[in-house]
Amino acid sequence: MLAALRTVIRRDLLLALRNKSDAANTLLFFVIVASLFPLGVGPEPALLRGIAPGVVWVAALLASMLALARLFAADYADGTLEQLALAPQPLAALVAAKILAHWLVSGLPLVLIAPLLGLQFDLSGTALLTLMVSLLIGTPVLSLLGAIGAALTLGLRASGVLVPLIVLPLTVPVLVFGAGAVEAAAAGLGAEAQLSLLAAFLLVSAALSPWAAAAAIRIALE
């Protein structure tokens, strides 16, 4: 089982390295969206600190939507998903490995660059750390929920439009508590409650999303 999971993760990471433009587009979109707001609203520090949590989290959410379309589409087109479905290992476990590889390519870079973007909004050190931690917990949830939408729209022409319509309503709690954690830290309050709720969302999503996505993939392959 572990060897199969490592193989799936390694394969997806190698494919991502060969198509660096896809990951670069996601990261570039995140940077551009988050950087436009300070230019648009002006240099007032208090205003920038107030909008920073929502702006960075919305930018991260929209950037993650860009990467979801390619989560299963290429493997569905070339028959790889059929081979995974026929493998002796549970399809849900293999799907979880693909989701992890997807997050390493599209989600982790957002987490790493977020503190630099937060400096544009005059966030304190504590708020920047909370921003990074909230994204580190929350972006995997976005990938897990997005995998369900990507699996449900396999083979459909308008999948690029349908995936955000399916996934965005599910991600509202993650957005609210992720931005709320940064706001609490910026105000000098504890962010433990919001981060704990994000961690709970991550545990529930990690337990259920791979099974739901695997079931949707089997339906698409029939």
Range of the domain at 45: 2-221
Q: How many domains is the chain built from?
A: 1
How far apart, in whole angstroms, are the C-alpha atoms of residue 38 and residue 44?
9
Q: Considering the entire predicted model, what is its pTM?
A: 0.91
pLDDT in tens, the chain (222 residues): 788 888 889 998 998 888 888 788 889 999 999 888 888 887 788 888 889 999 999 999 999 888 887 788 888 888 888 888 888 889 999 999 999 999 999 899 999 999 998 888 888 889 999 999 999 999 999 999 999 998 988 877 767 778 888 899 999 999 999 999 999 998 888 889 999 999 999 999 999 999 999 999 998 887
Radius of gyration of the chain (CA): 18
- Amino acid letter for position 176: V
Two structure tokens written together for 126: 């504590």
Closest by CA position to 95, among listed 144, 61, 140:
144
